[in-house]
Structure 1
Amino acid sequence: MENKKRNIFIAFVIAAVTFSVYFHSLEGELVNYDDFAFITSNRNITALSVENAAKHFTTQNQGHYHPITWMSFTISYHFFKFDSKAYHAASLLFHLLNVLLVFVFVQKLTGKTFAASIVSFLFAVHPMNVESVAWVSGHSSVVYSFFYLLAIISYIYYLRNGQKLKHIGLCFLLFLCSVLSKSAGITLPAVLLLLDFYFERKVGRKALLEKIPFFVFTIVFGVIAVLASKQFGSLMYGHVEYNWFDRIFLIGYALSFYIVKLFVPFQLCSIHYNPVVENGLLPFEYYIAPVFMLVIIAGIYLIIRKRGLRDDFAKKVVFGFVFYLITISMVSQVVPLGNTVASERYTYLPCIGVFFIVALAFQYYVETRKRIAAFAYIGIAVCGLMMIYITWNRIKAWNNSFDLYSDVVKKYPDRGYGYFGLGLAKLIRNDVDGALADLNIAIEHYPQYHENYNGRGNAKQQLGDYEGAIQDYDKAIELKRDFFQAYINRGNAKVNMHEYEEAIRDFTIGIGYKQDFAKGYGSRALVKMKIEDYKGALLDYIKAIELQPENPAFYFKRGKTLLQMEQFQNAVEDLSKAIELLPDYYDAYVTRGRAKIQLKDCEGAVDDCSNAINTQPSLALAYVNRGVGYNCLQQYENAIADFDTAIEISPDESKAYANRGISKAGFGKYPEAIDDYKKAIETDLFFAGPYMDMANLLFNMGEYENAIANYNRFLQLEPENIQAYIYRGMAKKNAGDISGACDDWKRANANQLLAENCQR
């Protein structure tokens, strides 16, 4: 009992140290390194439902099939939306649980608390594991490892407690959870065989038959992983081609790289590029790496030869090394993946095997050389503190996209992808010139990468160089014909050049390649609004909302569309939904206020605009619309005060002058009202409303000729306005021009006026 309490205490002390080291990772943002694809652009995580769960299990994302990991993201989104702290906290929680499981696993293997403490501590704070924990998209590594460790612990229980069916059944279920979290879990059946060797279980019929289901599902999920990668293009991605002979050295380098970095964790980076072949040769270190691995294997062979496999120390060394080889095999360049030769997150579970050997060697050393054991303890303590220090600082590289890619460029200044990522990060920071410079470097290093041109096109578009942007989008599309984002972005550039039909064409092509891209429908809808195709815009917003039902902007824009279509009640409902999703959505309050004015809910309009003003006190349009609401309530003094404020905020706000004119007319201050109408027209020559309001006021003042002149100007801007013809006809009648009046009423089909005034 005392030993059990001690073990629990030590394990939780290690977990507490881990938490203190990783705590500041919670401040990290989502980064533009798969996080946006897996989280912010992944609509399947936005609803905790059976339907979305089914989608997780039937689709791939970015070449990965990780349904349980996606479910974890879904749960985080359900409670915390896109708050990055929630996603980082989930990864840290799994890492802490894994630290405890590693302690239990090694303790079950060795019966030694010392070895369990060393292995779990190194696993907990080693800098190579930062990528798996501090990077949100690395979440799959900590999740699959959690189930993997539980599975092998349950298998140890199975071996040591009568080989009961419930233990092997539990192991199988945990195995399924592991491979459904990340395909790397398919190595578990081989580790089960390794555990049989470790515990000296005879390889009989039962031992083999019980593993058949494991190996069957290993094949199934292995095929799924390959198909998902092929579908996305991961297996083909990369701009360096290697022959089979080079591949042998790449495998040797990858296996050596991870071991070296576990002992010398310097020059760490989120990207370790594939080597460049020069004159048909790889860099020198790639030819040395296999020799390094052969030396390690030779050393282990000598231990076995000297001690025999039945020797406890030799058996444990073999177990640790083979555990490393098995668990790293999926990412050892046997199957080339992408543009990197190695990724630090891949050692998250395999490092346990290496640390297991380290713990054994250290324990053997202090037990056989007791005179200098104290120095050994000091040495490992210093190493532990160094690990903590490096890990603490390494976490900072994952703070945000800018820090992440700045680190990549620093480590690999002669490779292009880091500049691409840094350029996009600078775009987010509105450092457009800096972004353009980095993207130019990225293209110089990697001219065949379509994303480089798309990114540079975005930078040029922000600088107003729309033609240059379109040229870059053209190049991106030339390199990748189905690159939907380039079509969407080119469409946006054409919108800025007022080439609306061409823009719609690009949006339509982009949507054709990516039919679930909600923003594509939203962009096309905006253009349709510009060309007054409100019905078409409405249909696009309906589709966008179907794809992203939690996006308040789509409800807001559909509400504005319905407002233009004079479907005021439907507009209010959409704008209310936008406000429900985003309570401080001041634009939605203002627009809903406009809709309520049309529904004669003047008090509701005033309340909505007041809410907008409380949130955004410098929003001139909110004061204008609240003033219109006060006009509707005939509270002209309040209205004038709001229009005054709007003009103070935005002196060129023509609607403020026009509506202040209406307020002053309501007070009977006709000359002042006319001055405001004139100021509104001066501010916006194409604003028709003030001409009509001024004409009506002049008509009431008996100035019929002036009224007619303003009706004329109004009809030049709105030639189909029937009411204006009726009013102008009345002004002409009062001015003595009966013939002209009759012509206007005929145009307006004002039959009653024609019957009363124009019968010959």
Structure 2
Amino acid sequence: MTPPIKSDAMAILRGISHRGKHCIMAKTKRTSSASSSSLLDQFSSPVSVLILLSIIGLVLYGQSMSFTIGKFDEDVIITFNEKLLKNPSNVFEVLQRDAFFNNPGRNFYRPTQNLSIFLDTQIGKGKSWAYYLTNILLHISTCWLLFLTLKDFRFRPSTALATTLIYATSPLFVHVIAWIPGRGDLLIAMFTLLCLRATFRYLDTGKVSTLIFLHVCFFLSMFSKETSVLIPIIITAAWWMLYPRRAETSKTLALTLLPCLIPIVLWFVARSMVIPKYPDATVFGFIPFLNNLRAIPETIGKFLVPIGLAPLPAFTWLVTGLGSVVAIALVVAALRHATDNERKLTIFGIGWFLLFSAPGVAYTNELGKIAYDYLEHRSYLPMVGTGIVIAVILGRLMDSRHRSSVSLAILAAVVFYGGFSYMRAKNYKTAGAFYDMAIAGNPHSGMSYLNRGYLRAISNDLKGAEADYTSAMTYCPEYAEAYVNRGVLYQNIQRDADAGNDFKQAVLRNPELFAAHYNMANWYSRREDMPNALKHYRRSMELKPNFAEGWAMIASIIAKQGDLPTALPIFEKALALDPALMVGYVNRGKAFYNVGRASEACADWRQAAAIGSAEASQLAQTFCK
């Protein structure tokens, strides 16, 4: 017989002794002899688990500390903002920018993530090891918190450990840890588990310090990723479904969670100040949600069966079908012969997964399928719910007479997952290897071809770059950026007519693309077709009004046409936007010289020469004796 449950009003989410206390999961009869223990039982103390998870995390992902920065979005976030991030005085500035450090913002507002990347830059002096080490430490912390949370849910320590090891080694999460922009998902997962545990600790103890800790964690989480707005919902669901003292703590819970409104409101206010507008309904909303529903079964399938993994994946019916089978099998296995407590845990786990999956499923990249269908790192937090369902199944299996065999099978799976993850992480070592993997996983991603083509172009592999740009056009005929990049490539190898044709195609396919108009304008300018050049320069400035060089080019053409009074204020505007704009000083100097204002011309050329313009230095030596 199972021991009687004591009515001690202890919370379900509380780290108390397993025996003789309120138990959320019904236990089957088991012996306590040493022969029934498994290898997992020997390492299931919290300290042992933390050490074990630290070893696993460092073994699998320690290699990433030697990886280079430059993969998808890493360059946009870090490389392009190196000057901003390396200056310690910019700590408040980084909090006022979007997740890509744009100002004004265009995308997500995640200042906690920004701050963590800023601190990594300060600690590591811009070296890659600091960014990747932080990701590893966050993963280790999240896995340890998952283990503790499963124990709080009254799972046997060995069951909690088995589930945590599967989570810690799953190849699905390589993209979260070995890719720096996965930072936001690591942060929100850690903070969600901290908030969950802190809430029920507070309901049990009433300690003010615990309440403060809860709201500090929620504040940091809310400013890590916007999905955090759902944390109070999942806490309430856990309280309603799993907490034994609902009647006497309902008012306390309401008062505990009510202050969560403060960071939520602050986030929306701060976001509106940094990012002027909200995403279009075609990017975030109900229609993208319907289009992306297949991400739900696909991520579940990939979590346990590492097939179809890709950093920038496309939907495939094989993975969708496999994932659907895996999802159904998990639910059936968990609910079949389930006790009331197991049923509640299963439903809670399913709810967790669906709730935290919803925001990611409802979002699609502005480029749509040209880029990818979904991103695997967004499943990091939702998969905690899947882990709860798996724990229900494993708990039942590990309480059976085949416990030792089940433990060995789990360990074998963990070793397989770990080896798979270790080898897969190697593909994140360089940007080139990353895009090779991305294209292998999604051969129709025009964006992957474009980015790999760019890497090849700057490495002087011009044939490879041309092939990639052409592939991007083949798979995504409306991808204007591919035409722009191939046009620039042709321009650099003196295939001027081909370059012009590509620029024209880019303008035709996307009239709102700044780079298409600007390169088209440059092409016309080189051919001395100034009316068309001026038309496209002006259009490009409508699309990107703070681009100083564009205004300088407009002023140069107007001055060349003999209208210096009109050109001068435009030169001033360009130099106000960028006081170090060499082409602005050089071209204004030429304009001055052409109307006989030699002293002003020489002053501009000397200024440009001081900045570093070789052309200005030559002009000054020739005409300013």
Q: Above 0.5 in TM-score? A: yes
Between the aligned partners of 2:427 and 2:560, the Cα distance in structure 1 is 44
Aligned partner (choices 195, 202, 209) of residue 158 of structure 1: 202
Cα pair 2:446 2:479 within 8 Å, conserved: no
Partner residue in 2 for 1:172: 215
Structure of greater Rg: 1
1:113-154 CA-partner distances (Å, limit 9, x unpaired):
434433433333221111111112222212222322322222
Cα pair 1:150 1:174 within 8 Å, conserved: yes
Partner residue in 2 for 1:31: 70
1:453 is displaced (CA, Å) by 1.8
Asked if residue 211 in structure 1 is aligned to residue 243 in structure 2, the reply is: no
Please give the secondary structure, in 1, of the residue aligned with 2:219. helix
Between the aligned partners of 2:281 and 2:274, the Cα distance in structure 1 is 10
Fraction of identical pairs, as percent: 18
Distance 1:49 1:568, change over 3 A: farther
Asked if residue 378 in structure 1 is aligned to residue 420 in structure 2, the reply is: no
Distance 1:530 1:37, change over 3 A: farther
What RMSD over aligned residues (CA atoms) do the two structures have, in Å? 4.6
Cα pair 1:183 1:225 within 8 Å, conserved: no
Residue range with higher mean Cα deviation, 492-501 or 347-356: 492-501
Cα pair 2:184 2:224 within 8 Å, conserved: yes
1:269 is displaced (CA, Å) by 0.2
One-letter amino acid of the counterpart of residue 175, structure 1: F
Partner residue in 1 for 2:353: 324
Distance 1:488 1:418, change over 3 A: same
1:350 is displaced (CA, Å) by 1.9
Asked if residue 96 in structure 1 is aligned to residue 158 in structure 2, the reply is: no
1:191-244 CA-partner distances (Å, limit 9, x unpaired):
201321222341634434543454686688689999999958675359xxx997
Between the aligned partners of 1:269 and 1:5, the Cα distance in structure 2 is 33
One-letter amino acid of the counterpart of residue 490, structure 2: K
Asked if residue 540 in structure 1 is aligned to residue 583 in structure 2, the reply is: no
Residue range with higher mean Cα deviation, 32-41 or 534-543: 534-543
Please give the secondary structure, in 1, of the residue aligned with 2:307. coil
1:481 is displaced (CA, Å) by 2.7
Cα pair 1:482 1:513 within 8 Å, conserved: yes
One-letter amino acid of the counterpart of residue 259, structure 1: I
For 1:410-489, what aligned pairs fall within 5 Å after superposition?
A: 410-414=440-444, 416-489=446-519
1:345 is displaced (CA, Å) by 0.3
1:18 is displaced (CA, Å) by 0.5
Distance 1:381 1:158, change over 3 A: same
Partner residue in 2 for 1:364: 396
One-letter amino acid of the counterpart of residue 356, structure 1: I
Between the aligned partners of 1:435 and 1:249, the Cα distance in structure 2 is 32
Asked if residue 565 in structure 1 is aligned to residue 605 in structure 2, the reply is: no
Distance 1:568 1:189, change over 3 A: same
One-letter amino acid of the counterpart of residue 321, structure 1: I
One-letter amino acid of the counterpart of residue 53, structure 1: L
Between the aligned partners of 1:175 and 1:152, the Cα distance in structure 2 is 10
Cα pair 2:313 2:373 within 8 Å, conserved: yes
Between the aligned partners of 2:393 and 2:227, the Cα distance in structure 1 is 28
Cα pair 1:69 1:139 within 8 Å, conserved: yes
Between the aligned partners of 1:121 and 1:523, the Cα distance in structure 2 is 59
Asked if residue 149 in structure 1 is aligned to residue 193 in structure 2, the reply is: yes
Between the aligned partners of 1:419 and 1:234, the Cα distance in structure 2 is 26
Q: Select the structure that is richer in helix.
A: 1
1:301-360 CA-partner distances (Å, limit 9, x unpaired):
4444xx22xx3x444333333322222222235x65543443210121222222333344
1:280-315 CA-partner distances (Å, limit 9, x unpaired):
xxx5876886676556545544444xx22xx3x444
1:263 is displaced (CA, Å) by 0.8
One-letter amino acid of the counterpart of residue 210, structure 2: H
Cα pair 2:139 2:177 within 8 Å, conserved: yes
Please give the secondary structure, in 1, of the residue aligned with 2:188. helix
Asked if residue 262 in structure 1 is aligned to residue 303 in structure 2, the reply is: yes
Distance 1:523 1:398, change over 3 A: farther
Partner residue in 1 for 2:8: none
Distance 1:332 1:300, change over 3 A: farther
Asked if residue 186 in structure 1 is aligned to residue 229 in structure 2, the reply is: yes
1:575-602 CA-partner distances (Å, limit 9, x unpaired):
5xxxxxxxxxxx79x999x8xxxxxxxx
One-letter amino acid of the counterpart of residue 97, structure 1: S
Between the aligned partners of 1:59 and 1:274, the Cα distance in structure 2 is 34
Cα pair 1:229 1:235 within 8 Å, conserved: no
Between the aligned partners of 1:299 and 1:344, the Cα distance in structure 2 is 25
For 1:66-77, what aligned pairs fall within 5 Å after superposition?
A: 66-77=110-121
Partner residue in 1 for 2:175: 131
Distance 1:351 1:226, change over 3 A: farther
Between the aligned partners of 2:278 and 2:495, the Cα distance in structure 1 is 32
Cα pair 2:91 2:118 within 8 Å, conserved: no
Runs of 5+ unmatched residues, structure 1: 276-282, 546-553, 576-586, 595-654, 656-685, 690-717, 724-760
1:440 is displaced (CA, Å) by 1.5
Distance 1:518 1:67, change over 3 A: farther
Between the aligned partners of 2:428 and 2:584, the Cα distance in structure 1 is 38
Please give the secondary structure, in 2, of the residue aligned with 1:357. helix
Between the aligned partners of 1:332 and 1:477, the Cα distance in structure 2 is 32
Between the aligned partners of 1:569 and 1:226, the Cα distance in structure 2 is 44
One-letter amino acid of the counterpart of residue 151, structure 1: C
TM-score, scaled to structure 2: 0.74
1:395 is displaced (CA, Å) by 1.4
For 1:650-729, what aligned pairs fall within 5 Å after superposition?
A: none
Cα pair 2:105 2:276 within 8 Å, conserved: no
Cα pair 1:155 1:168 within 8 Å, conserved: yes
Between the aligned partners of 1:445 and 1:568, the Cα distance in structure 2 is 47
1:11 is displaced (CA, Å) by 0.5
Please give the secondary structure, in 1, of the residue aligned with 2:50. helix
One-letter amino acid of the counterpart of residue 410, structure 1: A
1:410 is displaced (CA, Å) by 1.7
1:49-81 CA-partner distances (Å, limit 9, x unpaired):
434533459967553221221222333445656
Cα pair 2:198 2:211 within 8 Å, conserved: yes
Partner residue in 1 for 2:282: 236
One-letter amino acid of the counterpart of residue 159, structure 1: L
1:494-542 CA-partner distances (Å, limit 9, x unpaired):
5655667865764554344224456757888999999999997676355
Between the aligned partners of 2:134 and 2:578, the Cα distance in structure 1 is 30
1:22 is displaced (CA, Å) by 0.8
Partner residue in 1 for 2:12: none
Cα pair 1:25 1:134 within 8 Å, conserved: yes
TM-score, scaled to structure 1: 0.62
Cα pair 1:127 1:391 within 8 Å, conserved: yes
Asked if residue 50 in structure 1 is aligned to residue 92 in structure 2, the reply is: yes
One-letter amino acid of the counterpart of residue 326, structure 1: L
Partner residue in 1 for 2:6: none
Aligned length: 559
1:392 is displaced (CA, Å) by 1.4
Please give the secondary structure, in 2, of the residue aligned with 1:54. coil
Please give the secondary structure, in 1, of the residue aligned with 2:512. coil
1:248 is displaced (CA, Å) by 5.7
1:363 is displaced (CA, Å) by 4.1
Between the aligned partners of 2:354 and 2:155, the Cα distance in structure 1 is 24
Partner residue in 2 for 1:121: 165
Partner residue in 1 for 2:25: none
Asked if residue 140 in structure 1 is aligned to residue 181 in structure 2, the reply is: no
Runs of 5+ unmatched residues, structure 2: 1-15, 18-41, 590-599
Between the aligned partners of 2:315 and 2:281, the Cα distance in structure 1 is 14
Between the aligned partners of 2:427 and 2:517, the Cα distance in structure 1 is 33
Cα pair 1:323 1:353 within 8 Å, conserved: yes
For 1:262-281, what aligned pairs fall within 5 Å after superposition?
A: 262-274=303-315
Cα pair 1:98 1:145 within 8 Å, conserved: yes
Distance 1:228 1:504, change over 3 A: same
Between the aligned partners of 1:175 and 1:432, the Cα distance in structure 2 is 50
Cα pair 1:28 1:85 within 8 Å, conserved: yes
